[in-house]
Structure 1
Amino acid sequence: MKRIIQLSLVALFFVLSSCASKYSKILSSKDNEYKYKMAEQYYKDKKYNHASELFQSLFPYLKGTPRHEEAFYKFAYSAFYLKDYESASLAFSTFTENFPNSSSVPEAFYMQGYCLYLNSPKVELDQSSTLHAISVLQSFINAYPKSPKAEEAKALIVKCNQKLEEKEYLAAKLYYDLGDFKSSHLYFDLLLSDYPNSSKSDLYMFKTVQSSYEYAKVSVPYLQEDRYKQAVDECGDFVAQYNNSKYVPSVQEIKKHSEEAINKIKNIINEQTKKASKS
């Protein structure tokens, strides 16, 4: 059995070497018509690495001919099928610039944005590609509002915005978890401003209330009363705006503790005033 496996591996090695040698000869060939024919065949056979490289090598030869457009189109899609979305997006963008009168421009325009969307990284990472995707997809919608792809582009923009919203939320939550309640209040407030129609808007406002309350607790004594009052005001605003939210009981609890803290501070001040007047 071991001997059979060894022989199979040797046979596979020679097959792969033969294929590599054949492709090298095609790539280095001076017969551009033959190279074009093989590029088309590789593309048809879904061997996109070879097809892409051959098409690219043929661009100078094909430039100015009707076949240049088709070759560039397939070159862009080769990158897409290889899941090299950054290169694919650039290729589709270049296609629209090089062939502005092509009937394939709307599709290439959409594919540029779609590839940027697919290239968007995890939410914790830099979202430049996501922002770029939104820009390109919105430009596509503006240019081709009646395109069959317009609704898909809108759906992708929604997903991109959800990712950006999640990133902002994680940043605000990090400040809260680190105990920087002043910053967390600011960031949750910005979330409310940036995404007023979010399904999580009550959560963001609740976190601003929590941040105000926690900030008051850790403040120096002479600033605590005003900061607890701010928390109480924000509790009232929350209940008025989100009276059916699941966070209402927690907000009412915060309001209760804040008012108790304010009364305690007032009692201490009154006691201190009385002592001062007697002395």
Structure 2
Amino acid sequence: MSRTALQIRTIGLFTLAVLLLTSCGEYQKALKDTDISKKYEVAEKLYTEGSFKKANRLLEQIAPQFVGKPQGERVMFFLADSYFQIENYNFAGYQFERFLKSYPKSDKAEEAGFLGAKSYYMLSPRYSLDQTDTDKALTKLQLFINANPESEFLAEANEMAQELTTKKEKKAFEIAKQFVKLGKYFTLDYNISALAALDNFISDHPGSQFREEAFYLRVEAATNLAVNSTYSKKEERLEEAEEMYQALLRSYPETRYAEKAADTNEKLQKEKANFEALKNELTR
């Protein structure tokens, strides 16, 4: 590096350090200042510069004092958005809701509605955990989508809603799938639960990406149940398992589970033949 370049770099770093120290001093002074106009001026500057954490702290101090004042709308939006930017999504969602109630006709109402919904989306946990926040996020997103069909945020809102819907579907499907797995070892109760859960899943989620697998798992669970049933219930359950197999083929003629389903059905047909032989022997 040449001497001139080194001097320029040194001057640049010095200037940056001075600006940072000045900004920090200005912020610290504003925190202690009793003049809310000064606090607002510094908070807006910090917010515009992207110093959201510092801006948030000042905005928290002054927001109650700007209620009903001309700058109140800007202060409340900045406060809500600063919470969003520092990833405090609980507070962001709450503050965006307050903003919309206070300023429903604001030019920022559409953005606030979207960011409020997105705040709850960000709180949605992985599928295996409680999905209360996911339900809330879906409700907020759907309200936003319905109210803003021409919004610039519509595509992202639809994408988030679809992701959350799939997450809820996956949770319901994985519960049913777990019953099927357990049914291989604890046959009766778990297979009965598996069939009920799969029936509900297929009924409740007609467009799910997991639906085809759910149809196949019904065949597996029904067959396990039938094979291990007592004599008095076996015939009925064998017929039900056969119907599950036919339902899979009707719904998905080119199913990717064709080979596995055929193997399961072969097992079922052998069991039916054995049952018919036993029934004939007992009726002689």
Query: TM over 0.5, yes or no?
Result: yes
Asked if residue 127 in structure 1 is aligned to residue 131 in structure 2, the reply is yes
Letter in 2 for 1:202: E
Query: In the aligned structure 1, how far is the partner of 2:67 from the partner of 2:242?
Result: 71
* Aligned counterparts of 2:212 and 2:64: Cα–Cα separation in 1: 59
Note the residue ranges of structure 1 that are not aligned, 5 or more in a row: 1-17, 275-279
Partner of 2:153: 149
TM alignment of 1:120-269, pairs within 5 A: 120-179=124-183, 180-269=190-279
Tell me the CA shift for residue 112 of structure 1. Answer: 1.0
Deviation string 1:128-153 (CA, Å, 9 cap, x unpaired) is: 11111111111112212112222322
Q: Is the 8 A contact 2:227 2:268 kept in 1?
A: no
Identity %: 26
How far apart are 1:177 and its partner, in Å?
2.0
Q: 1:23-34, aligned counterparts within 5 Å? A: 25-34=29-38
Give the Å deviation of 1:245. 0.7
TM-score (normalizing by structure 1): 0.86
- 2-side partners of 1:30 and 1:84: how far apart? 27
Change (3 A) 1:60 1:201: closer
Instruction: Indicate whether 1:63 and 2:67 are aligned.
Output: yes
Aligned position for 1:15: none
More displaced stretch, 161-170 vs 238-247 = 238-247
Q: What is the identity, as a one-letter code, of the residue corresponding to 2:78? A: K
Instruction: Note if contact 2:27-2:42 (Cα within 8 Å) is conserved in structure 1.
Output: no
Partner SS for 1:196: coil
Inter-partner Cα distance in structure 1 for 2:23 and 2:100: 35
CA contact (8 A) 2:100 2:112 kept: yes
- Contact conserved, 2:227 with 2:234, CA < 8 A, in 1? yes
Whole-Å separation in 2 of the counterparts to 1:35 and 1:255: 75
Contact 2:114–2:153 (8 Å) recurs in 1: yes
- Matched position secondary structure for 1:178: helix
Count how many residue pairs are aligned between Structure 1 and Structure 2: 259
Moved more, 77-86 or 37-46: 37-46
1:8 is matched with none
Contact 1:77–1:88 (CA<8 Å) still a contact in 2?
A: yes
Cα offset for 1:20?
8.4
- TM-score, length of structure 2 as denominator length: 0.84
| CA-to-aligned-CA distance 1:115-169 (integer Å, 9 cap, x gap) | 1111111111111111111111111122121122223222221111111111111
Equivalence for 2:106: 102
Deviation at residue 218 of structure 1 after TM alignment: 2.5
Correspondence 1:83-102 to 2 at 5 A: 83-102=87-106
> Cα deviation per residue 1:54-77 (whole Å; 9 max; x = unaligned)?
112112322222211111111111
- Residue in 1 aligned with 2:186? none
Structure 2: runs of 5+ lacking an equivalent: 1-21, 184-189
Contact 2:191 2:221 in 1 (8 A): yes
The aligned amino acid for 1:143 is A
Task: Supply the RMSD in Å over aligned alpha carbons.
Answer: 2.2
Deviations 1:208-258 (A, max 9, x none): 111101111222232122111111121112112211011122222222221
Equivalent residue of 1:66, what SS? coil
- 8 Å CA contact retained: 1:79, 1:88: yes
Q: In the aligned structure 2, how far is the partner of 1:141 from the partner of 1:236?
A: 40
2: CA distance between counterparts of 1:227 and 1:158?
A: 37
**Contact 1:242-1:248 at 8 Å conserved across structures:** no
Relative distance call for 1:143 and 1:152 in structure 2 (3 A) is: same
